[in-house]
């Protein structure tokens, strides 16, 4: 707990994003990885394998962009850095130990950016700026373009992108109805898929497509983590044992059905 508190105090992160929980969630992700590594490892290995296949299918190796890279446990960073002239890692903030671990790679660019384009507008809207009836809609991130990329990677983030803005709205605007909130989250998922399509490159997308609550091998409940947005690209699928009962503090395990795919634009 002391270590996590120090990381929170010393990691650079814009104030609005701190308030919305982005830094807290990044630190918690690292802690969950340490606790659940044995459960997560097969999924991480499959993710890296799909990315490696996408690298092999890429025609040129000038630039790769990794969107929402987190703590990079699912990214074959050595492969990317030795294959591409430029590796651009994009996220709202980065832990210092992540940067320090990759100091030997001179071709990494660290880019601070909210790829949904919605976090700061939601923060401002909750504060009354602007005075509008409906929550903001996603916009293309002004600081990031995919036009020059040879490979774009979105790994295990699509279902996560709406969660913190959605939780912030639920907390700060409790009168918003479920239809509005669902449409808001759906819009963020759709926007990310549309943003990927702006890349004239190989696109690698890995995402959970179903969340299952399980009692042993019995599925007791299923959820759509993409808010009704279908993934039209087919690909290889596998299961990710994301949260055993010890993590959920309940009587079910949570596992995700994940799809990994890549295609050329």
The region of weakest confidence among 24-33, 109-118, 138-147, 165-174 is 138-147
Q: What is the DSSP string of 71-95?
A: T-TTS-HHHHHHH-SEEEEEES---
pTM: 0.94
Distance CA 186, CA 168 (A): 16
| Contact indicator for 206, 54 with CB cutoff of 8 Å | no
Architecture of domain 2-204: 3-Layer(aba) Sandwich (3.40)
Provide the sign of the torsion angle of the four alpha carbons 9, 14, 16, 22, taken in this order. Answer: negative
Beta-carbon contacts of 182 under 8 Å, excluding residues fewer than 6 positions away, are 227, 228
With a pLDDT cut of 90, the percent of the chain lying above it is: 80
pLDDT of residue 246: 74
pLDDT at 13 over 90: no
pLDDT of residue 166: 96
pLDDT of residue 8: 79
SS3 state of residue 260: strand
**pLDDT averaged over the chain?**
92
Q: What is the pLDDT of residues 161-200, one digit of tens each?
A: 999 999 999 999 999 999 999 999 999 999 999 999 999 9
Q: What is the pLDDT of residues 210-221, one digit of tens each?
A: 999 988 888 899
Question: How confident is the model over 129-134, as a mean pLDDT?
Answer: 81
Distance CA 9, CA 99 (A): 17
| Contact indicator for 16, 168 with CB cutoff of 8 Å | no
Scanning the chain, the segments in alpha helix (DSSP H) are 2-10, 15-19, 22-56, 77-83, 96-101, 119-126, 163-172, 178-196, 245-248
Domain ranges (residues) in the chain: 2-204
Provide the sign of the torsion angle of the four alpha carbons 202, 84, 74, 17, taken in this order. Answer: negative
């Amino acid at each position: 707990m002391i270590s996590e508190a120090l990381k929170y105090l010393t990691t650079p992160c814009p104030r609005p994003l701190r308030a919305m929980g982005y830094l807290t969630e990044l630190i918690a992700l690292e802690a969950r990885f340490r606790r659940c590594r044995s459960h997560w490892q097969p999924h991480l290995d499959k993710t890296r394998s799909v990315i490696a296949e996408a690298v092999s299918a890429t025609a040129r190796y000038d630039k790769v962009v990794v969107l929402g890279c987190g703590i990079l446990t699912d990214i074959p960073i050595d492969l990317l850095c030795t294959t591409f002239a430029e590796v651009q890692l994009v996220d709202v903030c980065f832990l210092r130990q992540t940067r320090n671990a990759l100091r030997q790679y001179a071709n990494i660019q660290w880019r601070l950016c909210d790829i949904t384009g919605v976090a700061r507008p939601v923060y401002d809207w909750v504060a009354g700026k602007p005075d509008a009836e409906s929550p903001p809609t996603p916009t293309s991130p002004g600081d990031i373009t995919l036009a020059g990329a040879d490979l774009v990677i979105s790994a295990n983030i699509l279902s996560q992108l709406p969660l913190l803005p959605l939780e912030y709205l639920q907390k700060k605007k409790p009168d918003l109805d479920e239809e509005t909130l669902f449409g808001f989250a759906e819009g963020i998922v759709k926007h990310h898929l549309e943003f990927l399509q702006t890349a004239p490159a190989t696109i690698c997308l890995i995402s959970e497509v179903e969340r299952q609550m399980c009692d042993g091998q019995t599925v007791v409940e299923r959820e759509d983590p993409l808010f009704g947005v279908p993934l039209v690209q087919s690909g290889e699928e596998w299961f990710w044992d994301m949260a055993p009962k010890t993590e959920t503090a309940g009587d079910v395990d949570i596992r995700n059905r994940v799809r990994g795919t890549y295609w050329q634009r």
